[in-house]
Amino acid sequence: MGALTSLVPLIILSIVLSVLAFIGYAVYTVANDVANQTTKKMERKNVLFTKDGMKVGVKEVRNEQYVDQTQSFLVKAWNYSTWPAYKSRLWNKQAQEKSAAEPRKPYVQ
């Protein structure tokens, strides 16, 4: 009986350590799976994690596509910038000279 009572704490300790080891292993595997899935998703978005740090890839845009997009934006801006009823004070002076205001008459007493 004396040998059995001295082995009970050792058995309880081994059970507690095995349960903690199992929980630690489960947390470790879940963390690794999440890290791998995150890395795969980020690689699809051109972001790579390396030992040196993080590298961000740039989506390739050909020069011709870039020029076409820029030109289309400029043409749209040019077309939408004209207002038919707008009269500027800074330019189109010929139209203002035709409809010039009359000079003031001097004050006479």
What does pTM read for this prediction?
0.44
| pLDDT tens per residue, range 92-104 | 555 555 555 677 7
Residue 42's pLDDT is 84
Buried b (16+ CB within 10 A) or exposed e, 34-71: eeeeeeeeeeeeeeeeeeeeeeeeeeeeeeeeeeeeee
Q: What is the DSSP string of 16-58?
A: HHHHHHHHHHHHHHHHHHHHHHHHHHHHHTTEEE-SS-EEE--
